[in-house]
């Protein structure tokens, strides 16, 4: 999945499925391999947040600078990727993912 798919809903739906699998005893966390993708700046339509809004928030928080963003669409700085990894883990309901793809 990826944080930017369907305005973060892709990860959140995957997270619900993972929780169900774990709660129903179908599999344990060590039997799952979870990957996601980062690099693009996601929107959150349900919160009416556009990528431009997120860029502004991340700049205010000191996570990125305006020069870090390419075509108002993606960012590859370590601080941004770390921030998005944390957001993905929250969406997925996990402490970490097994593989983090970089989408440029």
Give the pLDDT confidence of 21-33 residue by residue, as tens digits. 999 999 999 999 9
Q: Decide: helix, strand or coil at residue 97.
A: coil
Tell me the two tokens of residue 100.
Answer: 């983090």
Task: Determine the average pLDDT of the residues in 35-53.
Answer: 79
Q: Regarding predicted confidence, which is higher, 84 or 6? A: 84
- Residue 17 CA: distances (Å) to CA of 20, 54, 55: 5, 27, 30
CB within 8 A of 2, min separation 6: which ones?
A: 10, 11, 36, 37, 38, 40, 101, 103
pTM (2 decimals)?
0.86
């Amino acid at each position: 999945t990826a944080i930017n798919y369907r305005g973060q809903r892709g990860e959140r739906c995957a997270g619900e499925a993972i929780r169900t699998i774990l709660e129903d005893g179908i599999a344990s966390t060590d039997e799952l391999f979870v990957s996601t993708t980062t690099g693009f700046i996601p929107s959150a339509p349900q919160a009416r947040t556009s990528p431009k809004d997120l860029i502004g928030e991340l700049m205010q928080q000191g996570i990125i600078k305006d020069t870090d963003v390419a075509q108002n669409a993606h960012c590859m700085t370590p601080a941004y990727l770390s921030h998005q990894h944390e957001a993905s883990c929250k969406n997925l309901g996990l402490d970490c993912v097994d593989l983090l793809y970089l989408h440029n």
